[in-house]
């Protein structure tokens, strides 16, 4: 493995932290012990800047490049964003209607099932088993119930877990 730059972040496919590296778990470290790394990242990821600083917290997170692009949000280095689960609000669901299908055919069934529709009421029947020629109508909001249950859904893209580490030993990157 080539010598890393101090502050370089790499992924490792094994669970131990290599010599010269720290885990990217948001841990606090002594500035006096890792002064070169602190000189580069400061308190971007946490710490008091006097005695401690923190490594980036990449546990359960996807890294994203700083800056912006056309049509995208702007992100500054060290900014955390996103969430693992989301409860959609009515304003986030595409506009749609819940229609009800009915037919002018005379009703011939007395109970609700997955094979019947509303029909023209005759005596004690109100459902029809043959929906040939049925027409969909937008009904009053009171006649259909909303769907959903305000439960969050998983917002995590497909992932593969690896370990992110940041180098505290190596080549100090020069500006320019």
Q: Residue 121 — pLDDT band, cuts 50, 70, 90?
A: low
For 53, counting Cβ atoms within 10 Å of its Cβ (0-12 exposed, 13-18 middle, 19+ buried), the class is buried
Q: In this predicted structure, what is the pLDDT of residue 101?
A: 65
Q: In this predicted structure, what is the pLDDT of residue 45?
A: 98
Q: Is the pLDDT of residue 47 over 70?
A: yes
Q: Residue 161 — pLDDT band, cuts 50, 70, 90?
A: very high
Residue 29: phi and psi, rounded to 5, are -135, 155
Q: Residue 156 — pLDDT band, cuts 50, 70, 90?
A: confident
Question: What is the C-alpha to C-alpha distance for residues 36 and 31, in angstroms, rounded to an integer?
Answer: 9
CB atoms within 10 A of CB 164: 19
The CA–CA distances, whole Å, from 64 to 31, 68, 75, 78, 168 equal: 26, 10, 8, 10, 21
Q: Is the pLDDT of residue 132 over 80?
A: no
Residue 50: phi and psi, rounded to 5, are -110, -50
């Amino acid at each position: 493995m080539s010598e890393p730059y101090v502050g370089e972040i790499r992924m490792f496919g094994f669970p131990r932290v290599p010599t010269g590296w720290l885990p990217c778990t948001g841990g606090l470290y002594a500035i006096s012990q890792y002064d070169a790394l602190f000189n580069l990242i400061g308190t971007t990821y946490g710490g008091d800047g006097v005695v401690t600083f923190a490594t980036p917290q990449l546990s359960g997170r996807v890294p994203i490049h700083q800056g912006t692009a056309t049509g995208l949000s702007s992100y500054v280095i060290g900014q955390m964003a996103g969430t693992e689960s989301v409860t959609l609000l009515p304003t986030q669901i595409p506009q749609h209607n819940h229609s009800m299908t009915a037919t002018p055919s005379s009703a011939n069934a007395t109970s609700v099932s997955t094979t019947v529709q509303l029909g023209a009421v005759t005596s004690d029947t109100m459902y029809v088993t043959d929906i040939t020629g049925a027409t969909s109508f937008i009904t009053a909001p009171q006649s259909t119930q909303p769907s959903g249950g305000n439960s969050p859904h998983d917002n995590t893209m497909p992932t593969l877990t690896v370990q992110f580490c940041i180098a505290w030993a190596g080549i100090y990157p020069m500006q320019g």
